[in-house]
Amino acid sequence: MNYEMVMGLEVHCELSTNTKIFCGCSTVFGGEPNTHVCPVCSGMPGTLPVLNRQVVEYAIRTGLATHCEITRYTKFDRKNYFYPDLPKAYQISQLYAPICQNGHIDIVANGEKKSIRIKEIHMEEDAGKLIHDPWEERTLVDYNRCGVPLLEIVSEPDFTTGEEVIAYLTALRAILQYVGVSDGKMEQGSLRADVNLSVRPVGQAELGTRTEMKNINSFRAIARAIEGEAARQIEVLENGGRVIQETRRWDDNKGRSFAMRSKENAQDYRYFPEPDLPPISISQDWVDRVAGELPELPKAKKARYLAEYGLPEYDVDLLTGDLALGKLFEGALEVCGSPKECANWVLGEVLRLSSETATPTDAMTLDAGKLGRIIIMVEKGRVNRSTAKEVLEKVFADDIDPEEYVKAQGLEMVRDDKAVGQVVEAVIRDNPKSLAEYLAGSGKVRQFLMGQCMRQLKGKADPALVGQLLGEMLDKISKEN
């Protein structure tokens, strides 16, 4: 029996506002436990929430960037349950009138275009963190995260494959970065995805029973979690069992999911409208202003890059998928005017340095203008590529001035035919064995000779020139022999 998957995603995104959603505490990540707290976010008696306007602004931006309708009269509701990371024993969220509804994100997966519908986007507050003390039988509570603003983005169950899910998350993350509301880092918890998944025999119209999976901390883990859970459900069904509707915790280390604290009765959250916060009336003017301030979004940017720069789609996806890389690309392009070169450098050397130094792309301080100037130096023949790479490393690490550095270190490319010719001659002369091999027909040895020439020239020669002269001389010797 063949089965197909039906999936929906609930993505929680931590907003990068300076302060929390209902109080003035800092949202900065880290910090000693319980130092970014106040009576409001720690649920002390008599305290009241006050809405951070920036959160609403960010929600409108996100809604517009995902083609949602903005709810003009939006309000908050209380979701009541007991857990130690929830100091008020209720979460202020939105159920009845979420701020955004009926949007979509277009994706490409497995070569096919698809539009994933967004059911709604709503604002809510994050809960704290529970830390299990490994030495004693106790759990410690840190309220720093209580009240950090979240946007919850709920999709319709439009996903049928893991690739679609990854494509959607990639696109969503890019959008969130582009509109400046979140850095969207799954590993750091600023982007969390819960997957609702059910299976059904191919062709069956009725949906199967779905489970919800939490604690998925990377894109790769999502792929594994989806595969694992689908397999688990199929096995249950094949063995004649029934899938239980429950919430499961994905353990990526163990490669399987575990049912969470049993919810024998579906949790009744007793939602009711939050009486401490008046409803928010969002005017057309406000929406228009936010719409007017939206930057070029990833999809539009991609179309423009493909049309204007003629870059391969794979490269364009990488450049538009990461806000920092895109900015670097555009900044360098402005200076040197060569899209192909900029793309190569950004996706080649810059990414390599980012990875080697373990610097996340949005933490790089590399100046785009300086990158552009390095590219110009190469194009003008002032330095060769390997020198340029060295200069880039220095700019990346220490933000030096590229032209001055080249000058000071004497790294200009040697292009003097005569000087190069002399070195080539000397190398051939000093390596009679290699010459003999070459004459005997070995092509590989030419690379060795080339390498020796470059070494003699301290890497500063124009490789094209060296190669040309070396080739000429070798040809000449061949003919003579």
Partner 1 sequence: MLNGMTALELGQKIKERQIGVAEAVREAYAAIDAREAETHCYISLCRDRALRQAESVQQRIDAGDLRSPLAGVPMAVKDNICTQGVPTTCASKILTGFVPPYNATVFRKLEDAGAVLLGKLNMDEFAMGSTTETSFAGATRNPWDTTRVPGGSSGGPAAAVAAGEAMFALGSDTGGSIRQPAAFCGVTGLKPTYGTVSRYGLVAYASSLDQIGPLGRDVADVAAVYEAISGYDPQDSTSMDRPAFREKPTADLRGKRIGIPAEYFGEGLNPEVKEAVLQAAWLLEEQGAALGECRMPELSYAIPTYYIIACAEAGSNLSRYDGVKYGFAAEHSDLQSLYLNSRTQGFGPEAKRRMLLGAFVLSSGYYEAYYLKALRAKALIKGAFDRAFEEFDLLLCPTAPTTAPRLGESLSDPLAMYLGDIYTVSVNLAGLPGLVVPCGFDHSGLPIGMQLIGKPFGEKALLDVGLAYQELTDHHKKTPEGRALA
- Of 8, 63, 87, 339, the one binding partner 1 (CB under 8 A) is 87
CB of 276 to partner 1, least distance (A): 5
Fill in the per-residue mask, 358 to 377: x = in contact with partner 1 (CB under 8 A), - = not in contact. --------------------
Closest CA to 106 of 167, 162, 156: 167
Q: Binding to partner 1 by residue 149, rule CB under 8 A?
A: no
Spatial distance between the Cα atoms of 459 and 462, rounded to a whole number of angstroms = 8
CB of 80 to partner 1, least distance (A): 5
Residue with smaller CB distance to partner 1, 261 or 433: 261
3-class DSSP state of 242? coil
Spatial distance between the Cα atoms of 322 and 23, rounded to a whole number of angstroms = 31
Number of residues located near partner 1, criterion CB under 8 A: 29
Q: Binding to partner 1 by residue 140, rule CB under 8 A?
A: no
Q: Binding to partner 1 by residue 89, rule CB under 8 A?
A: yes
Residue with smaller CB distance to partner 1, 125 or 315: 125
Residue with smaller CB distance to partner 1, 45 or 410: 45
CB of 48 to partner 1, least distance (A): 5
CB of 266 to partner 1, least distance (A): 8
Residue with smaller CB distance to partner 1, 80 or 215: 80
Q: Binding to partner 1 by residue 6, rule CB under 8 A?
A: no
Q: At what angle do helices 298-309 and 162-178 cross, to 10 degrees?
A: 90
User: Per DSSP, which regions of 3-157 are E strands?
Assistant: 3-14, 69-70, 73-74, 77-80, 90-93, 100-109, 112-125, 129-133, 138-142, 149-155
Spatial distance between the Cα atoms of 377 and 382, rounded to a whole number of angstroms = 5
Q: Binding to partner 1 by residue 268, rule CB under 8 A?
A: yes
Based on the number of CB atoms within 10 Å of its own CB, is 148 exposed (0-12), middle (13-18) or buried (19 or more)?
Answer: buried
H or E stretch including 371? helix 368-379
Based on the number of CB atoms within 10 Å of its own CB, is 465 exposed (0-12), middle (13-18) or buried (19 or more)?
Answer: buried
Q: Binding to partner 1 by residue 348, rule CB under 8 A?
A: no
Fill in the per-residue mask, 269 to 308: x = in contact with partner 1 (CB under 8 A), - = not in contact. -xxx--xxxx------------------------------
Query: Residue 334 corresponds to which tokens in the numbers above?
Result: 């402005």
Q: Binding to partner 1 by residue 260, rule CB under 8 A?
A: no
Q: What angle do CA 265, 151, 258 make, to 5 degrees?
A: 40
Neighbours of 275 (CB within 10 A): 8
Fill in the per-residue mask, 120 to 139: x = in contact with partner 1 (CB under 8 A), - = not in contact. -------------------x
H or E stretch including 213? strand 211-216
Closest CA to 117 of 159, 161, 155, 171: 155
> Residue 330: left (phi > 0), alpha (psi -120 to 50), or beta?
alpha
The span of 43-51, 116-124, 171-179, 252-260 binding partner 1 (CB under 8 A) equals 43-51
Residue with smaller CB distance to partner 1, 28 or 140: 140
CB of 270 to partner 1, least distance (A): 4
Q: Binding to partner 1 by residue 95, rule CB under 8 A?
A: no
Spatial distance between the Cα atoms of 235 and 93, rounded to a whole number of angstroms = 37
Contact at 8 Å (CB) between 5 and 198? yes
Q: Binding to partner 1 by residue 141, rule CB under 8 A?
A: yes
Residue with smaller CB distance to partner 1, 89 or 207: 89
**Residues at the site binding partner 1, with contacts judged by CB under 8 A:** 39, 42-51, 78, 80, 82, 84, 87-90, 139, 141, 268, 270-272, 275-278
